[in-house]
Structure 1
Amino acid sequence: MISRNRFPSGSVNIVGAYESPRRKSPNVHPYQIHAEVIAAALADAGLTVADVDGFATAASFPSEAGWQLNVVEIAEYVGLEPAWVDGTDIGGAATLSHVGHAVAAIQAGLCEVVVVSYASCGRSWPLPATDFNTGPTGPGQYEVPFGMSTISAYALAATRYMHRYGLRAEHLAEVAVQARSNAHRNPDAMYRDPITVDHVLSSTMISTPLHKLDCCVVSDSGGAIVITSRERARDTRRGGPSVLGFGEAVSHGQMNQMAELTTTSAERSGRRAFETAGVAPADIRVAQIYDSFTITVALSLEALGLVPRGEVGDFLASGGIGPSGRLRINTDGGGLSSNHSGRRGMYAVIEGVRQLRGESPGVQLESPELCLVNGTGGWLSATATLLLGATR
């Protein structure tokens, strides 16, 4: 029998990373941002476009200016001629999937240097667009007539969790408060002024129980990372963390098909990532967790095994993610305060790299050895999880 846990842990490193400082960029095309961040990430690695033989991206949302063959179009625009490509599109978790797939491709000898990029003008895109996941066919026919939106879908999960486990709005507000505290030190964060639980609870109710400050910012931005083998990483300009573990999982497209509203497929992607890395949730002291909404973080903390089931409210209330807590998350300010242009998985990976390099623009821990990164896509529809390890 072939083992299911043959992920080549530690064989590949992320040797270049760059996040665009753009937050509001009217009249700038997303492909221009792709070109900027790819060039900067390659410079960070000490490599050039000529070194790249693998490319991955996802660009199907209107604000990303992509459509069919988006990998082809963007590669052409930035001057790449890859031998291996990946256009896997699972929403905000896509970048993490691209990393895991790139590790496998490099190990298999299909390519040697992979660039993963993402860019979107989620704030400034001038053309109208429908909300995500509003297709009127299939399961969507049971939701679209009632005006389900991305926010109301997440609010539905929050309401169910509150009913079952006693989570309160004050608990969720702690996630937003800590994100803003981390962003306060980040010069590129979209919002940096400190907030309190009362600020969150008094902000406009968007979809019960989620207030305005429970929701991610809407920005323009982009980012890119460069991935290569451990052997070649030694010859790059700075090196970078190794990819120790990886897992991905999907569950549903529409909320009416979600089997259990109080957890996510991160139960599966996280378990696979921990197994392939050979570490346990108790080993994690810093994590970059997709924070489209505060409830996304709460559900992910439990699904990943970082907090026992049903106890996330108490964990948040006790300062578990605070300065003296056992787990620091979203150290750059996350999607709730720094940036969220459409798929924040890219920025979460970049912050994981920066944290392990000792150069977070937000809150830098002292010599972290591990960083967990978790992405969530769609309406809690898909997840991908990475475990990164520092190289000293």
Structure 2
Amino acid sequence: MPFDKRAYIVGAHEHPTRKAPDKSVVQLHAECAAGALADAGLTKADVDGYFCAGDAPGMGPLTMVDFLDLRVRHCDSTDIGGSAPLQHVAHAAQSIAAGKCNVALITLAGRPRSERVDSLLNVTQPEMMWEMPLRQNTLDFYAMCARRHMREYGTTSQQLAWIKVAASQHAQHNPHAMLRNVVTVEDVLSSPMVSEPLHRLDCCVTSDRGGAVVVTRAEIAKSLKRPRVKVIGTGEAVQGQAAGKVELTASAARQSGATAFADANIKPSDIRYASIYDSFTITVLIALEDLGFCEKGQGGRFVADGNLISGVGRLPFNTDGGGLCSNHPAYRGGITKVIEAVRQLRGEAHPAVQVRDCALALVHGTGGRLGARHGSATLILERE
């Protein structure tokens, strides 16, 4: 994307609730939208583009645009699971550059904790007739990836546990986090084994809630009284099972990350903060390798000994506690990754975890399932 047509994230809002038995999904979407617009200093009358995915109820954008009473000239409901909000930021930036809209609103919300519904189990998917008899669930797929990574590269459960430890160190400063207690490597390893080699504390939480961001063209962003966060790099990719040639230790982040870094004209070592999708600890480790922060097979060493802890390690990650400790709404945690990166670049993260001189941040999402079919989306954001 030409640099003179870069878009900006001007508003971000995370819903504070983690359990919402008294709210509908559309209400959560609406409250997130209102919060993000208020944060930007805009109103719904300014919105002319709307973006959502499969977490939106009814007919997606048709339902939500009507419910929110928006007057839009462009909408997008591209769905690649938990990475969809990142892809929506990229698509919003591209749509703004193409003149299709000026102010794009992106929302995500869900109530899986209240509804107890596994939104990933869609029996209408054609491949399910082959996979359901095997009784594999999401956890089993990620356990296979972890076991293969251990076999091929010598990765250990202790190394994976450091990812949870880092998340917990950050979550203690987040009053809305579901799990605020700091844990140790020993705590993770002593938690119940849920699908070998993954322990309970290797897994993300399940929460209600949502979030929203607002993306605008440069002229509008510069007229607002908010710190400006520019979208300077985007990338997206999809990886399937390749007719049986399944890659358990690699993800579509290889393609999405390389594209985003080339778009931004920077390299991984330039990044000051990383928001990485953390449905499981192994999700983070594989993404860090595939994004180029370390060589393939070296992820275990890279994350060990506090390297992901803000103020301690070289690459602070998920300083809100992430999906491992804070929240994972609608089984789709991508929107929260964008929001925390915006906080870091604005200097609005909790003082205990705020990254010093944070000028460049990476956001990465994984949607679907590693070890099967999944999508990846990567953003590079810059403080201007």
Same fold (TM over 0.5): yes
Contact 2:229 2:382 in 1 (8 A): yes
Aligned with 1:249 (options 237, 240, 247): 237
Cα distance between partner residues in 1 of 2:20 and 2:117: 18
Aligned with 2:368 (options 336, 356, 378): 378
Cα distance between partner residues in 2 of 1:325 and 1:19: 26
1:198 aligns to 2:191 (yes or no): no
Contact 2:109 2:211 in 1 (8 A): yes
1:165 aligns to 2:153 (yes or no): yes
* Alpha-carbon distance change, 241 to 102 in structure 1, aligned in 2, over 3 angstroms: same
* Alpha-carbon distance change, 371 to 258 in structure 1, aligned in 2, over 3 angstroms: farther
Cα distance between partner residues in 2 of 1:239 and 1:167: 41
State the shift of 1:297 in Å.
0.1
> What is the match of residue 383 of structure 2?
390
Cα distance between partner residues in 2 of 1:193 and 1:324: 19
> What is the match of residue 68 of structure 2?
78
1:343 aligns to 2:340 (yes or no): no
Deviations 1:90-114 (A, max 9, x none): 0010000000001011011111000
* Alpha-carbon distance change, 233 to 295 in structure 1, aligned in 2, over 3 angstroms: same
Q: Name the aligned partner's letter for residue 360 of structure 1.
A: A
The 5 Å alignment of 1:307-346 reads 307-322=294-309, 323-341=311-329, 342-346=331-335
Identity of aligned residues (%): 46
Q: Name the aligned partner's letter for residue 22 of structure 1.
A: T
Cα distance between partner residues in 1 of 2:198 and 2:100: 45
Q: Secondary structure at the match of 1:328?
A: coil
Contact 1:251 1:382 in 2 (8 A): yes
State the shift of 1:82 in Å.
1.2
Q: Name the aligned partner's letter for residue 15 of structure 1.
A: V
Of residues 97-106 and 134-143 in structure 1, the stretch that sits farther from structure 2 once superposed is 134-143
Aligned with 1:105 (options 91, 95, 105): 95
Q: Name the aligned partner's letter for residue 122 of structure 1.
A: P
Cα distance between partner residues in 1 of 2:178 and 2:211: 16
Of residues 312-321 and 347-356 in structure 1, the stretch that sits farther from structure 2 once superposed is 312-321
The 5 Å alignment of 1:1-392 reads 6=1, 8=3, 11-60=6-55, 66-67=57-58, 69-125=59-115, 129-130=117-118, 132-135=120-123, 138-252=126-240, 257=244, 259-322=246-309, 323-341=311-329, 342-361=331-350, 363-380=353-370, 381-391=374-384
Q: Could you list the runs of 4 or more consecutive aligned residues of structure 1 that deviate by over 4 angstroms after TM superposition?
A: 7-10, 254-258
Contact 1:17 1:226 in 2 (8 A): yes
Number of matched residues?
378
Q: Secondary structure at the match of 1:27?
A: coil
Cα distance between partner residues in 2 of 1:366 and 1:132: 38
Q: Give TM-score, length-normalised by structure 1.
A: 0.93
| RMSD of Structure 2 on Structure 1 (CA) | 1.7
Structure 1 unaligned spans of 5+: 1-5
Cα distance between partner residues in 1 of 2:50 and 2:124: 33
Q: Name the aligned partner's letter for residue 328 of structure 1.
A: P
State the shift of 1:258 in Å.
6.1
Contact 1:143 1:256 in 2 (8 A): no
State the shift of 1:124 in Å.
0.7
